[in-house]
Amino acid sequence: MNAFLAAPSHSTNMTDISSSSRKRLKIRDAIVISGWNWQTFNVPERLALAFAKLGAKVLYCENPVSRLRHRGRPLGEIEPGIHGWGPEFLGHRINQIPFGSRLQARFLADRIAKQASVLNLEDSIVVYPHGQWFGPLCTELKKKNFPLVHVCMDYPEPGQEKLIELSDLTLVIPKSVFYQLSAKHGDKIVSIPQVTQMSESEVIAGAAGNHSNVDEFPDIPRPRLGYLGPVTNRLNTQLLAQLLSSRPDCHFIHFGPEKCLPLANVHAIPWRQPKNLGEVIANFDIGFMPYDCYDIKNFHCIPLKLFDYFSKGIPVVSTPIVNLWEFAETVYFGHDADGLCRAVQLALDEPKDSPKRCSRLRIARAHSIDALAAALCGIFSVRGCTGA
């Protein structure tokens, strides 16, 4: 492993890092390239927050937009220490042409390096998730001597092996995938936690008020089964339809412009800003995750929303995603419609003072932004001249 990636021999907790110690830590600055934008608040966005929490300066690059149709976000600070920027290029269709993809990649790499120079980033690393256009781009950034850090968020998709090979280090979130990739790539593969959107202090502060005093959805009856996202190919909609048809008293809520199923007990609501997601969760009776486990990507994922649900202590019902088995004491599982019906009823019958709720809050604190920052500190930090 490269020296700049060497980790301490002991684990690091944020509580172990005093204010004076943080001043002596030399945290590498980071260029976080996202396939989304800041509002989606996916893994790259949370990684940017964790780097900034450690004192790093972050250049956050949104998904490029076609300059023929849109204008990208101008460079500017969007959170303390995080400088957002929206690159512009000719368009994603050009990437389907080999020569075109190389030209665009070279252009984007030059623009990213220029913005890093504008911000005076020091010893910056490039952090990137999976995406078809990341291969050519990271090849060009590697030529500019940027250390490359790939983030594997799910079961590896087609083309992801190339991204791992390009990287100096690959951070892996699902434990099952970590063990699989480690068998081939050894020490190049490092495990990091999946995290809630909140800091540890925010989880603690919100623990006393798990349910909002203001009903966000007065027209939606209870009990409410909430899914904190749009319904895409993640969910088993056939299974969901069977459950909701057999339990018309239960109302399913998801983000999106229109309902995912033509049922009276399905409700689509507009997307909320990340800072407002806690208020939405507080109005759910159950955090619901009927993922399609036949899809290997879904079966091996570790949903971000799990820890967002846990941050409010609410019961969670899910299909048996393999990386959730370790939370069997706090999650209700069902693999088919009958099993999910039983799981939903068990969750609804859970007492408000159940110790499971405290356990979920404890797990949420252990999967906070602070926990991710501590993991990154152990991987990327180097000591200053005075030592620590």
The answer to whether the CB of 123 falls within 8 A of the CB of 29 is yes
The answer to whether the CB of 316 falls within 8 A of the CB of 332 is yes
CATH 3.40.50.2000 fits 3-195+368-383, yes or no: yes
Segment among 9-13, 41-45, 296-300 with least mean pLDDT: 9-13
Please tell me the CATH superfamily of domain 200-366, with its number: Glycogen Phosphorylase B; (3.40.50.2000)
Q: Indicate whether 1 pLDDT > 50.
A: no
Strands (E), the chain: 25-26, 30-33, 58-61, 65-66, 76-79, 82-85, 88-89, 125-128, 148-152, 169-172, 189-191, 224-230, 251-255, 266-269, 286-289, 316-318, 331-333, 382-383
Between the CA of residue 199 and those of 81, 205, 275, 307, what are the distances in Å?
16, 10, 12, 12
In tens, the pLDDT along 193-242 reads 999 888 888 887 766 554 555 688 999 999 999 999 999 999 999 999 99
What is the pLDDT at residue 158? 87
What is the pLDDT at residue 13? 53
The answer to whether 3-195+368-383 and 200-366 have equal CATH topology is yes
The mean pLDDT value for 300-316 works out to 96
What is the pLDDT at residue 2? 46
What is the pLDDT at residue 11? 43
For residues 265 and 252, give the distance between their C-alpha atoms in angstroms, rounded to a whole number. Answer: 6
What is the pLDDT at residue 388? 33
The answer to whether the CB of 164 falls within 8 A of the CB of 152 is yes
For residues 267 and 112, give the distance between their C-alpha atoms in angstroms, rounded to a whole number. Answer: 41
Residue, of 12 and 108, whose pLDDT is higher: 108
pLDDT band at 22 (very low <50, low <70, confident <90, very high): very low
Report the percentage of the chain scoring pLDDT > 70: 88
In tens, the pLDDT along 180-191 reads 999 999 999 999
pLDDT band at 20 (very low <50, low <70, confident <90, very high): very low
CB atoms within 10 A of CB 165: 12
- DSSP annotation of 235: B
| Unique residue bearing structure tokens 């110690």 | 21
Q: Indicate whether 351 pLDDT > 80.
A: yes
pLDDT band at 387 (very low <50, low <70, confident <90, very high): very low
What is the pLDDT at residue 209? 55
What's the mean per-residue pLDDT of the chain? 88
Longest CA span, the chain: 66
Q: Indicate whether 67 pLDDT > 90.
A: no
Q: Indicate whether 123 pLDDT > 60.
A: yes
Q: Indicate whether 336 pLDDT > 80.
A: yes
The mean pLDDT value for 245-251 works out to 98
What is the pLDDT at residue 208? 55
| Number of DSSP helices (H) and strands (E) in the chain, helices first | 14, 18
What is the pLDDT at residue 212? 53
Strands (E), 239-313: 251-255, 266-269, 286-289
Crossing angle for the helix pair 200-207 and 369-380, to the nearest 10 degrees: 160
In tens, the pLDDT along 271-299 reads 988 888 888 999 999 999 999 999 999 99
What is the pLDDT at residue 207? 61
Segment among 195-204, 250-259, 334-343 with least mean pLDDT: 195-204
Which helix (H) or strand (E) segment holds residue 111: the answer is helix 98-118
Residue, of 7 and 360, whose pLDDT is higher: 360
Report the percentage of the chain scoring pLDDT > 90: 72
* Residue extents of the structural domains in the chain: 3-195+368-383, 200-366
